[in-house]
Structure 1
Amino acid sequence: MLIDFFTQETQTSSFIQDVLSSVNYDVRVHSATSQVPNILKQRPLASIILWDLDSFSGENEKSLSFIRTNAPDSMIFAYAEDLAIYGTSINGLADICMNVPSLRVHLMSKLSDLKRVIYARETFRDRMSHLVGNSVPMENLRKSILRAMIHTSPVLVQGETGVGKELIARAVACMYDKFVTVNCSAIPENLFESELFGHVRGAFTGAQTDRIGLFEEADGGAIFLDEIGDMPLHTQVKLLRVLQNREIRPVGANKTRHINVRIIAATNRNLKQAVAEKKFREDLYYRLNVIPLSISPLRDRPEDIADLARYFISQYQNPGDNRTLSAEALQKLQKHNWPGNIRELENLIQRTLCFANATIIQPEDINFDTEIPGDSMLVANDMTTLPPLHATMTYDEFRESQLDQEREFLKRRIAQNKGSVSATANQLGLLRTALYNRLRRLDIDVKDLS
């Protein structure tokens, strides 16, 4: 990685150059602030600038402000013999500020932190292409997601049904190869613990073999607990223990197993109210709500409707088509209340593309499904209808039904993309390696789908 080093001093700078060269950083040293404009033109968008404040004491504020404005993706690491001399003049202008004694000890660890942020930002740009909309709430959400990405603390995503909570979760976890989704509302209560934490053979009727749970499957990656508000209270206790100790105990096992998992939870419920009603544990709520992300309903950001509609048209129209919305059709969309949020809009666009004949979509082509309330809306998706879950179903039968469902879903999406795993991964917000791993686990041969 490239580091542009601005300094006029020799002793500390020689130490820094020797350390950085020994670990294969590409270091360019500059002794004049007048070089800044030309250097910014020659460097990658995202890289590191190391700045010796003592060398340019009269020019720091002006130069660092110029870098911040013209190279916002660059990370600035500033240091001085005594930072107190500069007071608040450099506040907000550098990502890291250190005194020289601390710099000698912590240089490499701090540079690693900056590299992690740069990688997160580059990955963030790719993943944000799936988050459509330029309203103020969406811009604020993107900033919050970027901050959440570079930490490992639990995240709680809150928003109404259909706003795209899983999409947000995938964006937060985009640097992980593993992303395991758990729909807490779809798991029978008697199977909850074994589904999350696994079980050993003979732990209960139907447990014919050892099986790892979803937490262990996500080890080293992220787990998304969707509809966390539907988790039974007795399972909430187990989840709290995972958050506190980073350990799980499979059902019937004598020993715990250590795991390293980033936990992202989501709900459309008011968890504070659920806590007050004793339906959700207060201690678990605060453990999960370390990094809160809230998604505004579509009715509160009508300025995003046009961009979303165009995005869904581009995703679902037939190859070679160039379908557009008339001004009147767009106006009709913007006047709708969208009780089903983005999912309702996506479903509507798919239906409209199916039945509208003309290239330009008119208001009469748009038919809202007013018979289905938003919060319980069932959307026509690529997946077939989920099979019913019975209290009498064994654990193995339940897991197999889930795997069959996921297998069918991925086969259809890959077939739609003419066998392209890369295109499918991009559409689903997954890393290609993560999708390949999932295909291998599900025994799906991509060659059969092209």
Structure 2
Amino acid sequence: MNPNELTAAARILVIDDEAHLRELLEITLIKMGLDVDTAETLAAAREFLAKQHYSLVLTDMRLPDGSGLEMVEEVSSKYKSTPIAVITAFGSADNAVVALKAGAFDYVSKPVALDQLRKLVRSALQMQEVKPTEEVAIVAAKPSSPSFLIGQSEEIQHVRSQISRLARSMAPVIITGESGSGKELAAREIHRNSARADKPFIAVNCGAIPEALMEAEFFGYRKGAFTGANEDRDGFFQAANGGTLMLDEVADLPLPMQVKLLRAIQERRVRKVGATVEEAVDVRILSATHQNLEACVTAGKFRQDLYYRLNVIELVLPPLRQRLNDVSELASGILLKLATPGYPISLNPTALNALQAYDFPGNVRELENILERAAAFANDGCIDVIDLGLRSSLRSVPQIERESSSAVVGMQESQSISESAPDQASNLFVMPELPCVLPEYLEQIEREVIRAALARTRNNRTQAAELLGVSFRQLRYSIQKLKIQDVEAD
């Protein structure tokens, strides 16, 4: 058969040395309306690949004349348009991770769950854009639309290029970058360009869920499992079944939950709170964090095995200060959303120049906040420099120094310290008169520092926690303990 004559059905190559498993896979795939070739060795598989185009290669990891990993690397380099998936032994999650890093599209574990196999095949065929039979039932690809990630700079074009490749795989991706750099948008872009685009995309902020409720929120619960569980409820994994689950600020997960999450990801099964049996789930995991996860592992705050399971592929988002050429296009898009019918909003050239010279410690999110505030003050819908309320740029100051300076500036502003007395910054809180009540005095200091950080970040608690060097959960606890309300931003 000529490789270009794929018409009625796609063709799958199954490589496995176990005759009964080859037969089971072949029957399952034929029932889906697909053509199947089988091979029990790498040598036989290479002969098939030299003669025939395949829409999917499915290989065992252990073969008589070599490793399935060799076939993964070979197919990924020589037959780049052909996805390859691997079959791993039960509990061999490490092998699956190695295969995914080498270029495998996805994996299934032994004993092979046929429903999971069918989903994998459908995803692979959807990527190939073959014409399926009615039984395969693949949803047609959605028409292309503009990227969520706006800009034409070299940096953002490189990110979009990476996303187009990542979308073809089911491998876990970790998205790193500073707060406000667009990590969730990148995750949505990966999902939208993947074979799962017609399935749910569920984004979860791991730092915003109380620890006591985490297991129930992620895995769901049965009626009567605990006080207040008046009915069965699905968790995030069930809600994202067939689609993508994004774990935002994954570094904030407590260690006990990390163990349970690792098992769910490896086994692709979850057990609801109060249930006695596990249920299969099919989700692609995307993670995001502004923290250095490797440093968290070293410090004992994040499990190394979960780190390696999530960090199969890393996507790094550049901060806005590294792509200031995109500010004009980003600002236009933001102002278009802020405008109301008949009342357009624009930037005059001087204001645009000021934005392009600004440091943007809060990245794109800060640009949105600046423009939203400026639009409220603008005369006749035209934003001028004075409407932006920009602080002086700190672009030349190193990152760690800049964050320290930001905290000091915020404290100085909250205490109305004169700019002419910079030496007071190191002695912001003077020695109290003795005798004093020390706990109350320390609480007052903590309250003022937190308020300064909130003022600096315009009440963005995630950024404030970063400025103060504490976790989001620690900051939230302190805010509740000290009864701190949102502060007015400058």
Tell me, yes or no, whether TM beats 0.5: yes
Q: 1:373 to 1:145 in 2, by over 3 A?
A: farther
Residue of structure 2 aligned with 1:338, choices 360, 363, 374: 360
Whether the 8 Å contact between 1:120 and 1:146 is mirrored in structure 2 is no
Partner of 1:158: 176
Q: Distance in 2 between matches of 1:354 and 1:324?
A: 12
- 1:355 correspondence with 2:369: no
Partner of 1:443: none
Residue of structure 1 aligned with 2:150, choices 119, 129, 132: 132
Whether the 8 Å contact between 2:375 and 2:381 is mirrored in structure 1 is no
Whether the 8 Å contact between 2:175 and 2:286 is mirrored in structure 1 is yes
Whether the 8 Å contact between 1:203 and 1:251 is mirrored in structure 2 is yes
Q: 1:191 to 1:251 in 2, by over 3 A?
A: same
Q: After the TM superposition, which of the residue ranges 198-207 and 282-291 deviates more from structure 2?
A: 198-207
Task: Name the amino acid aligned to 1:148.
Answer: L
Q: Distance in 1 between matches of 2:292 and 2:338?
A: 34
Query: Deviations for 1:256-292, whole angstroms, at most 9, x for unmatched residues?
Result: 1110011111111110000000100111111111121
Consecutive unaligned residues in structure 2, runs of 5 or more: 11-48, 54-75, 84-121, 131-137, 392-405, 411-451, 462-475, 478-490
- 1:305 correspondence with 2:323: no
- 1:180 correspondence with 2:198: no
Partner of 2:228: 206
Whether the 8 Å contact between 1:124 and 1:171 is mirrored in structure 2 is no
Query: Deviations for 1:86-135, whole angstroms, at most 9, x for unmatched residues?
Result: xxxxx99985489xxxxxxxxx998764328xx9997584151x211111
Whether the 8 Å contact between 1:159 and 1:295 is mirrored in structure 2 is yes
Whether the 8 Å contact between 1:164 and 1:342 is mirrored in structure 2 is yes
Q: Distance in 2 between matches of 1:268 and 1:16?
A: 46
- 1:146 correspondence with 2:173: no
Task: Name the amino acid aligned to 1:352.
Answer: A
1:302 is displaced (CA, Å) by 1.1
Partner of 2:459: 378
Q: 1:362 to 1:184 in 2, by over 3 A?
A: same
Please list, as runs of the form range in 1=range in 2, the aligned pairs for 1:135-284 lying within 5 A after superposition: 135-174=153-192, 175-284=197-306
1:312 is displaced (CA, Å) by 0.8
1:247 is displaced (CA, Å) by 0.6
Query: Deviations for 1:195-250, whole angstroms, at most 9, x for unmatched residues?
Result: 10112233233323322211111111111111111111000011111111101111
Q: SS where residue 272 of structure 1 aligns?
A: helix
Task: Name the amino acid aligned to 2:165.
Answer: R
Q: Distance in 2 between matches of 1:170 and 1:110?
A: 20
Q: Distance in 2 between matches of 1:97 and 1:347?
A: 45
Partner of 1:287: 309
Q: Distance in 2 between matches of 1:287 and 1:120?
A: 30
Q: Distance in 1 between matches of 2:457 and 2:378?
A: 26
Q: Distance in 2 between matches of 1:93 and 1:362?
A: 56
Residue of structure 1 aligned with 2:128, choices 107, 111, 114: 114
Whether the 8 Å contact between 1:313 and 1:349 is mirrored in structure 2 is yes
Task: Name the amino acid aligned to 2:375.
Answer: L
Q: Distance in 2 between matches of 1:332 and 1:16?
A: 56
Q: Distance in 1 between matches of 2:175 and 2:187?
A: 7
Whether the 8 Å contact between 1:120 and 1:149 is mirrored in structure 2 is no
Q: SS where residue 278 of structure 1 aligns?
A: coil
Partner of 2:116: none
Whether the 8 Å contact between 1:352 and 1:365 is mirrored in structure 2 is yes
Q: Distance in 2 between matches of 1:122 and 1:351?
A: 39
Q: SS where residue 185 of structure 1 aligns?
A: helix
Work out the percentage of aligned pairs sharing the same amino acid: 38
Q: Distance in 1 between matches of 2:361 and 2:217?
A: 32
Whether the 8 Å contact between 2:220 and 2:234 is mirrored in structure 1 is yes
Task: Name the amino acid aligned to 1:202.
Answer: G
Query: Deviations for 1:271-329, whole angstroms, at most 9, x for unmatched residues?
Result: 00000001001111111111211111111211111111111111111223343322211
Task: Name the amino acid aligned to 1:114.
Answer: Q
TM-score norm. by structure 1 comes to 0.59
Consecutive unaligned residues in structure 1, runs of 5 or more: 1-11, 25-78, 84-90, 99-107, 381-388, 391-450
Whether the 8 Å contact between 2:173 and 2:311 is mirrored in structure 1 is yes
Q: 1:273 to 1:92 in 2, by over 3 A?
A: closer
Whether the 8 Å contact between 1:340 and 1:373 is mirrored in structure 2 is no
Q: Distance in 2 between matches of 1:259 and 1:145?
A: 24
TM-score norm. by structure 2 comes to 0.54
Q: Distance in 2 between matches of 1:345 and 1:120?
A: 38
Q: SS where residue 126 of structure 1 aligns?
A: coil
Task: Name the amino acid aligned to 1:115.
Answer: E
Q: Distance in 1 between matches of 2:368 and 2:223?
A: 44
RMSD over equivalenced CA pairs, Å:
3.6
Q: Distance in 2 between matches of 1:190 and 1:113?
A: 40
1:368 is displaced (CA, Å) by 3.2
Q: Distance in 2 between matches of 1:218 and 1:308?
A: 30
Task: Name the amino acid aligned to 2:177.
Answer: G
Partner of 1:36: none
Whether the 8 Å contact between 1:347 and 1:379 is mirrored in structure 2 is no
Task: Name the amino acid aligned to 1:135.
Answer: S
Whether the 8 Å contact between 1:156 and 1:290 is mirrored in structure 2 is yes
Q: 1:343 to 1:240 in 2, by over 3 A?
A: same
Q: 1:131 to 1:142 in 2, by over 3 A?
A: same
Q: 1:149 to 1:310 in 2, by over 3 A?
A: same
Q: SS where residue 202 of structure 2 aligns?
A: strand
Query: Deviations for 1:17-76, whole angstroms, at most 9, x for unmatched residues?
Result: 4x51x359xxxxxxxxxxxxxxxxxxxxxxxxxxxxxxxxxxxxxxxxxxxxxxxxxxxx
The structure showing larger relative contact order (alpha-carbon pairs under 8 Å, at least 6 residues apart) is: 1
